[in-house]
Amino acid sequence: MLDQRKLKTPQGKIFEVNSKPLALAVAAEWDAQKEIIDRGNMHLTALCNTVLDNPQNCTKVDLVNNIVNCLEMDTVLFYSSEADELYKLQIEKWEPIVHWFCKHYNVNIAGTQSIEAPGVSLETKTAITRHLMSHNFNSIYGLVYAVDGLKSVILTLATAERTINVSEAVDLSRLEEKYQISHWGNVEWHHEYSKHDLQARLSAAMLFVYLNSHSATSRPKNDAPDVS
């Protein structure tokens, strides 16, 4: 409820979720708004709205395919083209996560030092597709939100599996930026804001995935959003 009226989505649908903890988290976002409603910082509300309205009429298959296709442009697979300090840092920080990804999902994928996308085999795409399809529709939307922020499927799944935490995932996704900052300095109002904004977005996405995955009624029928 908002001002004694039922909250609605941008498309005019009644705002309903099927997880009480998620409802409380959304309520906390609204309670945090004061004189001005800053929707840009209400990530859980935005995710719920997107699931309920589904503006692109996406099916779960559409969303999963979108995530899997992002593997070929995954941030942690693009190494510096030269064997410099940045390359060594990327090897040190990224390779353990890529190794975990390959072992955990029984796939084979490697990074590249060229501008060409790394090859992702059909077997790898099939394995990741199978895993993602085990999630419900709502949770997949949360993973899409995370991938979009991190620009990395690998970091998103590692965070979802709690192999790394949100702060670590953000740092790994911004590794090159952090390297440049260490050499050229930090523009606090820009770089710090960017970091904290991404942490907030990823935290919301992971909470959305977790709360929907643990909701007894969250699995939709026929891959359609469940608004009950």
Q: Tell me: do 72 and 181 sit in the same domain.
A: yes
List phi, psi (to 5°) of 162: 65, 30
| In-domain check, residue 156 | yes
> Higher pLDDT residue, 119 or 59?
59
12, 29, 57 - which closes a domain: 57
Q: Tell me: do 87 and 39 sit in the same domain.
A: no
Q: What is the pLDDT of residue 118?
A: 87
DSSP for the chain reads -BTTB--B-TTS-B---S-HHHHHHHHHHHHT--SS--GGG-HHHHHHHHHHH-TT---HHHHHHHHHHGGGG-GGGB--SSSSHHHHHHHHHHHHHHHHHHHHHT-----BSSSSPPP--HHHHHHHHHHHHTS-HHHHHHHHHHHHHHT-HHHHHHHHTTSS-HHHHHHHHTHHHHHHHHHH---IIIIIHHHHHHHHHHHHHHHHHHHHHT-TT---GGGPPP--
Q: How confident is the model at residue 114 (pLDDT cuts 50, 70, 90)?
A: confident
Q: Enter the pTM of the model.
A: 0.88
Instruction: Write down the mean pLDDT value for the chain.
Output: 89
| In-domain check, residue 38 | yes
| In-domain check, residue 190 | yes
User: What is the tally of structural domains in the chain?
Assistant: 2
| In-domain check, residue 228 | no
| 157-208 pLDDT, tens digit each | 999 999 999 999 999 999 998 888 776 666 555 567 788 999 999 999 999 9
57, 77, 94 - which closes a domain: 57
Q: Tell me: do 156 and 182 sit in the same domain.
A: yes
| In-domain check, residue 222 | no
Q: Tell me: do 31 and 71 sit in the same domain.
A: no
**Which CATH number is 204's domain given?**
1.10.3580.10
**Residue span of the structural domain in which 34 resides:** 1-57
Nearest alpha carbon to residue 147 among 225, 80, 209:
209
Q: Tell me: do 141 and 205 sit in the same domain.
A: yes
Q: What is the pLDDT of residue 218?
A: 40
Q: Tell me: do 53 and 154 sit in the same domain.
A: no
Q: Tell me: do 146 and 41 sit in the same domain.
A: no
Q: Tell me: do 80 and 138 sit in the same domain.
A: yes
**Which CATH number is 34's domain given?**
3.30.2180
Q: What is the pLDDT of residue 215?
A: 57
